[in-house]
Amino acid sequence: MRIDLEKCLGCQRCADYCPVGAISYFQDEKKPKKKKARIDEEECVECGVCFRAEVCKPQAIYRQEIQWPRSVRLAFSDPMVEHKQTGVPGRGTEEMKTNEVTGRFKRGSYGMAVEVGRPGVAGRLDDLEKIAIALAKIGVEFEPKNPVTFLFEDVKTGKLKPEVRKEKVLSAIIEFVVKPEQLRPVLQSLKDISGKIDSVFSLDLISFPEEAEKGPALKVVKEMGFPVYPNGKVNLGLGKVLNK
């Protein structure tokens, strides 16, 4: 995003709408009593919130033409934009929590996701790469339809394409499947790498509701000191059940 300084009136309303604090004000040399707004393009994630808020009356805020690799910021930060490879807007795939309909995760395995960054914090993709490399060493199966997967230079190692590593996004999600015997190593790996990440990340663990499936996973998670916040979504019969 950019600001046309000729149009900017210095009302100082736009900065409050930026979720990553990329908008600041500076003294207008032509009019010393006024401060104009500017956007730090290195920190801007191209989410478009400042534009969609419609607080700029002279319409000084605009989106410049965005090329690769900066277009990665737009795809992962603006919920109105679809990923070209998946046709799905937002940060990940269709909801993991509707697994009884999608059938993505089979019994005898667990679905997991790591979300790097949040509104107000954001994150660089090189942080996500650190996590992906650690997970790849354990041998997890990355979700092929996740938009992050298309950014891998090598999906087997978890390394991203070099040109996207320093791009900043509101958040991005790695989704993957783990076998029961991989769960503890995955959790330990995430613990070990947490101190090497400049942003924040959260962890999702998807299992079937039966005690035989859910019980062992919860036991491992609690033993390793991870706080558990149960969440779920239930199919009301309106969709085709793929995971019987």
3-state secondary structure of 52: helix
Mean pLDDT of the chain: 88
3-state secondary structure of 19: coil
The whole-angstrom separation of Cα 103 and Cα 29 is 61
What is each CA distance from 112 to 71, 167, 236, in whole angstroms?
27, 24, 23
CB-based burial, 85-99: b 16+ in 10 Å, e otherwise: ebeeebbbbeebebb
The whole-angstrom separation of Cα 12 and Cα 30 is 17
The whole-angstrom separation of Cα 223 and Cα 217 is 10
What are the sequence ranges of the domains in the chain? 1-65, 82-223
pLDDT winner (highest mean) among 25-39, 92-106, 108-122, 162-176:
162-176
pLDDT(217) > 70: yes
The whole-angstrom separation of Cα 165 and Cα 169 is 11
The whole-angstrom separation of Cα 70 and Cα 154 is 20
- Cβ atoms of 71 and 60 closer than 8 Å: no
pLDDT digits (tens, 9 = 90+) for 77-95: 988 887 777 766 666 666 6
Domains 1-65 and 82-223 share a fold: yes
CATH class of the domain comprising 82-223: alpha beta
**Residue matched to tokens 């149960």:** 230
Q: What pLDDT is recorded for position 92?
A: 63
pLDDT(203) > 70: yes
Helix (H) or strand (E) holding 132: helix 125-138
Global pTM reads: 0.86
3-state secondary structure of 221: helix
Q: What pLDDT is recorded for position 156?
A: 94
Given 3.30.70.20, 1.20.120.330, 2.60.120.10, 3.30.450.20, which CATH number is that of 1-65?
3.30.70.20
The whole-angstrom separation of Cα 182 and Cα 62 is 47
pLDDT digits (tens, 9 = 90+) for 134-155: 999 999 999 888 899 999 999 9
pLDDT(32) > 80: no
3-state secondary structure of 90: coil
